[in-house]
Amino acid sequence: MSQFWRVAADGVSVAVKVQPKSRRPGLQGTAPDIDGVRLRIGVTQAPEDGRASQAACEALAGALGLPASAVHVLTGATSRQKTLHVAGDPAVLAERLANCLEHK
């Protein structure tokens, strides 16, 4: 399986596909995309005023055991396909991302 994240100098960039108004919030596995693989994140919020994007950041932060302030949107603020930046030690974050879907 291809990775849905890339190591950056100050953390990792994570390619995600957000499903607003989801009945099943949280991490939902991966989904193929034209650019590779994306992490699917379901959120209960509607895609209005950035609420779904914020909820996706909070869901990823929670799954990685980080504060919500450690995750923010890099690209795709108004799109379902986004790139989120997670601040922290890249090696630790890469390990947590690799394991986060195994423990579902």
pTM recorded for the entire structure: 0.92
Checking if the pLDDT of 103 tops 60, the result is no
CB 44 within 8 A of CB 21: yes
Q: CATH number of the domain at 5-100, out of 3.40.50.170, 3.30.1200.10, 2.60.40.10, 3.90.79.10?
A: 3.30.1200.10
Tens digits of per-residue pLDDT, 13-69?
Answer: 999 999 999 999 999 999 998 888 999 999 999 999 999 999 999 999 999 999 999
Give the Cα separation of 92 and 30 in Å (integer). 20
